[in-house]
Structures are given as C-alpha cells and as structure tokens.
Structure 1
Amino acid sequence: MENKMLVVTTENIPGRKYEVIGEVFGVTTQSKNFASVFGAGLKSMVGGEIMAFTKMLTTSREVALDRLREEAGKLDADAVVMMRFDSGSIAGDMQSVVAYGTAVKFVD
C-alpha cells in the first residue's frame, strides 16, 4: 500500500488554504547485526563511508516517514506541513529516527 499524502518541509503549500489538525510523529529504531557492527568498526580504522549504517539510516527515514503519513491519515489529514527529521543513537549500534510535522486539512 503506497501512501501519496503530501508531506512538505515548508509552512505553506502554494495555492492551498488549510486548517491545522495537530502534530503527528513517525518513529523507528533500527540496529545492525553483530557482523555489520564489527565490519563498521574495522572500516572506521581506515576511514570512508560505512555503507551498512548509511543503508540503515536511509531505511529508518523511509519507515519514519511512512509512519508519519499513517498517523496523519488516522486524523483524516490531507497533508503534513513543516516536516522535520530528528535522530539519535542508542547504545552505540542502534539509531532512532523520528519524522514529525503538523497535520492539516484543506479548506479550499
């Protein structure tokens, strides 16, 4: 199921008027397996991009955004404005990502 709800990082949507419904969040926490973490430790000694963690963060952002859209849909929103991402690490090998914004309903 693909959710096509409009999500923007801006406060305004050109040509649209809306009323605010409320804040919405989408959260996920991901971790890598021991082999990936071990390999990342080795890679950090020589430098360069650690692809396993890059992929994990990319997936985390996609999951968080999907969950944000789901939460906005539950509120019967038409769009989400002022969307932002925030992230933080937990215990070194886990990453938590949250997508948050304001759910709105079009009035025009």
Structure 2
Amino acid sequence: MGIEEYGGGQSPRADVLVVTTNDVPGHQVQQVIGEVFGLTVRSRHLGSQIGAGLKSMIGGELRGLTKTLVETRNQAMERLVEQARARGANAVLAFRFDVTEAADAGTEVCAYGTAVIVSRTG
C-alpha cells in the first residue's frame, strides 16, 4: 500500500479552499455563511475486526482499519466541501474532524468548519 492511500486533503486546484486556520494570508473574508459539515458513519467489516483482533495480540499497525479511517475522513471532507459549495462559499475556515464510536456499530466521522466567501487582498 502506497503513501497516497494513507493521506487526504485537497487537490491544488480545488474550487473551495479548506484550511484549519481562522484566516487565509493574502485574503479577506467578505461574508460569513456559517457552519458546514460532512458526516459519515462506517461499520467495520468482519475481516478487519478479525485481523485487528489478531494484530492486537502481537502489536503493530492495523493497516485495514487505517485505510478505512482515511477513506472515511476523505468522504466526510468531500461532503463538507459539497455543502460549502452549495451554499455559495469559496472557502472553509477553522476546519476540524471529530471522530466518535457510533453505538458499537461503527465509527462516525464529522468534518466541520465555517463556510465563507474570501477574496484576494491587494
């Protein structure tokens, strides 16, 4: 499995900029649209659970679960961007992830932030 399968984030040509900061250098916030989020819940399949159980006895990375979490986070972020775009935003500030267990059924991942319209200064 290559490094690209363990990462996430945006492409350099994304039409909605997503940042973890409260502002974007060289840009000014023109309008605050409000909170946006992308949510997904994923269950673990039996193979991953058995593999994780065996791996926990000897230690090491749980690659199947890592890959599933990366895919889940990327899906939540895509949904956040879709919502921001639909509301007319071109940026999301203060981007964060929240991950919780969902009633022993799986993992809930919520990507959230503040949708805004920014423009370049100067």
Further displaced range: 28-37 or 63-72:
28-37
1:31–1:56 CA contact under 8 A, matched in 2: no
One-letter code aligned to 2:53: G
1:7–1:80 CA contact under 8 A, matched in 2: yes
What runs of 5+ residues in structure 2 fail to find an aligned partner?
1-10
One-letter code aligned to 2:62: I
Residue of structure 1 equivalent to 2:3: none
Residue of structure 1 equivalent to 2:5: none
Deviations 1:51-107 (A, max 9, x none): 111001101110010000000011100100000001012344611111000000125
What runs of 5+ residues in structure 1 fail to find an aligned partner?
none
Aligned-pair Cα RMSD in Å: 1.7
Cα distance in 2, alignment partners of residues 78 and 6 from structure 1 = 6
- TM-score w.r.t. the length of structure 2 is 0.81
- For the pair 1:32 / 2:38, whether they are aligned, the reply is no
Residue of structure 2 equivalent to 1:77: 89
Residue of structure 2 equivalent to 1:9: 20
One-letter code aligned to 1:21: I
Q: Secondary structure at the match of 1:64?
A: helix
Cα distance in 1, alignment partners of residues 117 and 95 from structure 2 = 15
4+ runs deviating over 6 angstroms:
none
Deviations 1:10-60 (A, max 9, x none): 001111111211000001111221122111111111111101110011011
CA 106–84 in structure 1, closer or farther in 2 if over 3 Å, else same? same
Cα distance in 1, alignment partners of residues 21 and 118 from structure 2 = 15
For these two proteins, the number of residue pairs brought into alignment is 107
Further displaced range: 76-85 or 12-21:
12-21
Further displaced range: 87-96 or 25-34:
87-96
Identical counterparts, % of pairs:
47
Cα distance in 2, alignment partners of residues 92 and 42 from structure 1 = 19
